Amino acid sequence: MKHLTPKEAFAFLAANPAALLVDCRSEIEYFYVGHPTGAIHIAWHEAPDWTVNPEFAEEVLREAGERDRPIVLICRSGKRTLDAGAELERAGFAEVINVLHGFEGDLDEDFHRGTRNGWRHDGLPWEQL
């Protein structure tokens, strides 16, 4: 698995239009917190039980169409994508990329996100319901 900062991931997506950007946060995070413009939503785990989505790799394959298509994964802070990316690699995906710091970024000393790093912090395109 490769690891790119949000700005590097954005540049990679621009240079590789066939790449698929997958937001693997919960549905509520995707719609109400916001998500990168162009990202598709496939939850790694979902409320109310928060168990891992056993169909995750199949759902990504359905959207990607093939396992050779580059998959860029983003979550809240870049941690959930590590497990999701490992699952995609086990399922035979050739190029899996983790967006470091995710959409909201790392916690600061006041336990707030979005003040240090992350997709939104870096001013990259995003949208919200």
- For tokens 């999701």, what's the residue? 84
pTM of the model: 0.95
Helix (H, G, I), strand (E, B) or coil at 82: helix
Residue boundaries of the structural domains of the chain: 2-127
Quickly name the fold that domain 2-127 has: Oxidized Rhodanese; domain 1 (3.40.250)
At 113-123, the pLDDT tens digits run 998 999 999 99
At 5-28, the pLDDT tens digits run 999 999 999 999 999 999 999 999
Residue 54 contacts by C-beta under 8 Å, 6 or more apart in sequence? none
